[in-house]
Amino acid sequence: MTGQVVIVGSGHAGFQAAASLREEGFAGGITLVSADDGLPSQKPPLSKGFLQGKQTEESLLFRVPAWYETNAVTLRLGVRVVQIDPLGSQLKTETGDAIPYTHLILATGAANRPLPCPGADDVLYLRNLADARRIGARLEQARRVAIVGGGFIGLELAAVAAENRKTVTVVEAGSRLMERVLPPVLSGVFRRVHEQQGVQIRLNTVAQCIEKQNESYSIQLSDGQTVAADLVLAGIGVIPETNLAQAAGLVCDNGIVVNEYGQTSVSNIYAVGDCANQYNPFARRRLRLESVQNAVDQAKTAAKHLMGEAHPYRVVPWFWTHQYHLKLQMAGISAGYDQFSVAGNPETDTFSVYYYADGQLIAVDSLNRPGDHLKARKLLEAGSCLPAHSER
């Protein structure tokens, strides 16, 4: 097959779409356009090994520079796309260039949700390598670090800062850490370990206002207390990057709505990764997932479909987080469980939680039990999940 595939976004989904198209034998042109200016690279280590100083920038690259030449993938880096013209099948960049396509793959990801409080202008967020460099430099200078958001990214940042002997405070609006995705038993283990490392955890608390005093900050909390910090970080969720798609008239609803092959409401435009909203047979509903596994597997499905192979997306979702010695691996989607059981020992931080709905296993979270995680993915894969819908 020939033609010109243009991919917008050079994250896990965009890179994988290019790689899979070549693996599938696509013989036409591939152009990868990205607002990021560095070579396509991984994100998960940014809040873990990279900030800990254990991983170099080079080790984050998906491929060495020569790979793009060998595979005839044209890189347009540091280039923001500002418009899609679906009727004329072309893109417009912020410098006014037009890029024609026969097929377009949107892999625009998501942007950090900004902290909605007065004085938040100096707050730093982590989304890409440039952010990580900035945070790394500021972290070296800071003695007291305040982190708003007790989700995965906020807590990974807290772990890095605490291991660097900083005075760390985490401010979380919910009543537990990682409440949206974890059961109380797991939230409890993470809280205990963070507190053992000296992290102060403020639950049921919102940052109401940040005041700058010389080079430090005073954060006023909803419980009437204040936290003093030299550096304020926030990880309070993301917003899917759907502006381009919406302006082009593609159907969007918490992400760009796609069918089981990744096609949007315009058949020669696909959307994959964090920006895509797709029916997931393992969650039994439409949703948007923010994970490397999902970005990679949706990109593979879209590339195959573009090459004429119609394999509906059906992969067990899985995620992970690393904080101190805690390695948590999650398989399946636990939301909506009506029963759970625990295998192993929560007191030694080595156990798995099995979630059921209507008597059927729907998800397994494994803490420091990688064997359980691998078995869980196989069990869930073999389970009798509902078939994928063919709706758009």
Nearer to ligand FAD by C-beta: 295 or 333? 295
DSSP E strands in 196-337: the ranges are 200-202, 207-213, 216-221, 226-229, 231-234, 238-240, 256-257, 269-271, 276-280, 285-287, 318-323, 326-332
Q: How far apart are the C-alpha atoms of 240 and 306, rounded to whole Å?
A: 23
Q: Which residues bind ligand FAD (CB under 6 A)?
A: 8-14, 33-36, 43-44, 46-47, 80-81, 107-110, 126-127, 153, 241, 244, 273-274, 290-293, 295, 319-321
CB of 94 to ligand FAD, least distance (A): 8
DSSP E strands in 235-349: the ranges are 238-240, 256-257, 269-271, 276-280, 285-287, 318-323, 326-332, 339-345
CB of 276 to ligand FAD, least distance (A): 8
Q: List the end-to-end C-alpha distance of the chain, in Å, as a whole number.
A: 25
- Contact call for residues 182 and 198 (beta carbons, < 8 A): no
**Residue 373 CB contacts under 8 Å (≥ 6 apart), including other chains:** 318, 329, 331, 352, 364, 366
CB of 23 to ligand FAD, least distance (A): 18
Handedness of CA 12, 315, 251, 255 (dihedral sign): negative
Nearer to ligand FAD by C-beta: 119 or 373? 373
Residue 337, CA distances (Å) to 252, 341, 354 in order: 28, 11, 10
CB of 93 to ligand FAD, least distance (A): 8
CB of 321 to ligand FAD, least distance (A): 6
CB of 202 to ligand FAD, least distance (A): 22
Nearer to ligand FAD by C-beta: 135 or 221? 135
Nearer to ligand FAD by C-beta: 282 or 319? 319
Longest dimension (CA), the chain: 64
Q: Which residues of 1-19 are buried (b: 16+ CB within 10 A; e: fewer)?
A: eeebbbbbbbbbbbbbbbb
- Contact call for residues 130 and 41 (beta carbons, < 8 A): no
Q: How far apart are the C-alpha atoms of 359 and 337, rounded to whole Å?
A: 9
CB of 20 to ligand FAD, least distance (A): 13
Nearer to ligand FAD by C-beta: 127 or 373? 127
**Residue 369 CB contacts under 8 Å (≥ 6 apart), including other chains:** 344, 350, 351, 352
Would you call 214 exposed, middle or buried from its count of C-beta atoms within 10 A (0-12, 13-18, 19+)?
A: exposed
Q: Which residues are bridge partners to 366 per DSSP?
A: 329, 352
Nearer to ligand FAD by C-beta: 3 or 237? 237
Nearer to ligand FAD by C-beta: 65 or 118? 65
CB of 302 to ligand FAD, least distance (A): 12
Nearer to ligand FAD by C-beta: 17 or 221? 17
Nearer to ligand FAD by C-beta: 90 or 216? 90
Side by side, the strands of the sheet bearing 276-280 are 256-257, 276-280, 285-287
Nearer to ligand FAD by C-beta: 61 or 228? 61
Nearer to ligand FAD by C-beta: 130 or 343? 130
CB of 48 to ligand FAD, least distance (A): 7
CB of 238 to ligand FAD, least distance (A): 8
